[in-house]
């Protein structure tokens, strides 16, 4: 048999190959079936992640919660449960894969961040939408986990009127983006207009403008954030500070980039998308172990003052040094 610790440590140290057969090949007296039986029989959940990460958080009113989803690409897998056709931001289109909605806690830009909850997007199994997962995780964070962070960041996918109202009722300050086709109102007399129909004066470009969204009973501050390449982000917030500038709103929104770091690290360093087991329970357990592996790398990297990639790369460096010192296979000689 194998243990969770062995499986997680395998995910930490293996390079490129994250399959059950590969693990079995590197354990004495362990077969491929033993590994697949382990993944099929466990019942690991996001609660286990919270138990590990709770003590690591730098929590407080100035901290952030971040929400976004990621797709584990399974486009060549025809028989794996939980796989469905869905939109992938990384691919900018539809792809077959397993979706995960993540809730991350951040102490702020350039500071520590940790995943504190996640949900597998599996509507065929539980009937829940991504927005329902969003709602459940945020409510759980506030009331069950007692998270003190007062700012929450998410993208336009989760910026529905219901989500905005729910987050506002929880006493949280949101920073989110709007899709370009969203309509707003500057006044009752002016009616509903498109975002780019607003008269974006120099003052408004600098400090934003108060607007009303349909079906949202409170006003929000809208900012037009123009990137150096000309792309536009329409950022809104319910922050009560009316002196908030576009720059400050952009800096707050930029913390959401840490989600991309998490998504990339989970895929590249722990192989979240690499498990080939067919059963949904096996996929769930593998993903849970991937979060554990990522967190282990994160803690060790912080202790070493290195990145997660450097920390994992050091494992290969040790192997290379040993081989160069005493090669087991020597270069073929012509003599």
pLDDT tens for 207-241 read: 999 999 999 999 999 999 988 888 899 999 999 98
Position 200 in a domain: yes
Which residues are CB-contacts of 239 (< 8 A; sequence separation ≥ 6)?
Answer: 173, 175, 221, 249
Average pLDDT, the chain: 93
State how far the alpha carbon of 315 is from the alpha carbons of 11, 13, 261, 323, 334, in Å. Answer: 12, 7, 21, 13, 33
Position 225 in a domain: yes
Q: Would you say residue 72 has pLDDT above 80? A: yes
Q: Would you say residue 157 has pLDDT above 80? A: yes
**Residue 96 to residue 85: CA distance in whole angstroms:** 4
Output helix, strand, coil percentages for the chain, rounded to the nearest 5. Answer: 40, 20, 35
How high is the pLDDT of residue 319?
87
Position 36 in a domain: no
Position 202 in a domain: yes
Reported as a pLDDT band with limits 50, 70 and 90, residue 185 is: very high
Start-to-end C-alpha separation, the chain: 49
What is the residue range of 170's domain?
Answer: 163-255
Helical segments of the chain, H only: 4-13, 20-25, 32-41, 46-53, 123-126, 130-143, 161-169, 202-207, 246-254, 257-270, 280-304, 308-325
How high is the pLDDT of residue 189?
78
Position 208 in a domain: yes
How far, in whole angstroms, is CA 11 from its chain's centroid? Answer: 19
Q: What is the mean pLDDT of residues 244-249?
A: 94
Domain count, the chain: 1
Q: Which tens digits make up the pLDDT trace of 47-70?
A: 999 999 999 999 999 999 999 999
How high is the pLDDT of residue 105?
98
Position 328 in a domain: no
Q: Which tens digits make up the pLDDT trace of 254-275?
A: 999 999 999 999 999 999 999 9
How high is the pLDDT of residue 126?
94
**Residue 174 to residue 186: CA distance in whole angstroms:** 20
Position 188 in a domain: yes
How high is the pLDDT of residue 124?
92
Who has greater pLDDT, 104 or 241? 104
Position 299 in a domain: no
- DSSP characters for 107-153? SSTTS-EEEEEEEEE-HHHH---HHHHHHHHHHHHHHTS-----EEE
Q: Would you say residue 109 has pLDDT above 90? A: no
Residue 4 sits at φ, ψ, to 5 deg, of: -60, -40
Q: Which tens digits make up the pLDDT trace of 284-299?
A: 999 999 999 999 999 9
Reported as a pLDDT band with limits 50, 70 and 90, residue 140 is: very high
């Amino acid at each position: 048999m194998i243990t969770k610790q062995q499986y997680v440590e395998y995910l930490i140290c293996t390079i490129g190959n994250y399959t059950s057969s590969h693990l079995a090949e590197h354990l004495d007296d362990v077969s491929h079936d033993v590994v697949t039986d382990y993944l099929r029989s466990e019942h690991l959940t996001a609660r286990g992640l919270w138990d590990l990460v709770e003590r690591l958080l730098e929590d407080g009113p100035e901290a952030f919660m971040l929400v976004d989803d990621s797709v584990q690409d399974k486009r060549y897998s025809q028989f794996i449960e939980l796989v469905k056709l869905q939109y992938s931001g990384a691919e900018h289109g539809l792809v077959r894969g397993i979706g995960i909605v993540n809730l991350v806690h951040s102490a702020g830009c350039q500071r520590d961040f940790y995943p504190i909850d996640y949900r597998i997007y599996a509507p065929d199994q539980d009937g829940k939408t991504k927005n329902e997962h969003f709602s459940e995780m945020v409510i759980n964070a506030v009331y069950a986990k007692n998270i003190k962070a007062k700012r929450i960041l998410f993208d336009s996918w989760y910026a529905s009127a219901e989500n905005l109202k729910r987050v506002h009722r929880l006493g949280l300050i949101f920073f989110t983006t709007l899709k370009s086709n969203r309509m707003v109102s500057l006044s009752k007399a002016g009616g509903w207009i498109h975002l780019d129909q607003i008269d974006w004066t120099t003052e408004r470009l600098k400090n934003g403008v108060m607007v009303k969204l349909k079906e949202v009973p409170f006003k929000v501050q809208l900012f037009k954030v123009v990137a150096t390449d000309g792309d536009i982000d329409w950022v809104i917030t319910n922050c009560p500070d009316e002196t908030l500038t576009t720059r400050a709103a952009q800096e707050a929104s930029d913390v959401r980039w840490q989600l991309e770091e998490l998504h990339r690290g989970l895929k590249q360093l722990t192989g979240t998308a690499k498990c080939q087991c067919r059963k949904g329970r096996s996929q769930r357990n593998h993903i849970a172990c991937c979060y554990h592996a990522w967190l282990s790398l994160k803690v060790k990297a912080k202790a070493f003052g290195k990145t997660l990639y450097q920390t994992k790369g050091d494992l290969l460096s040790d192997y290379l040094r040993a081989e160069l010192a005493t090669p087991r296979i020597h270069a073929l000689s012509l003599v």
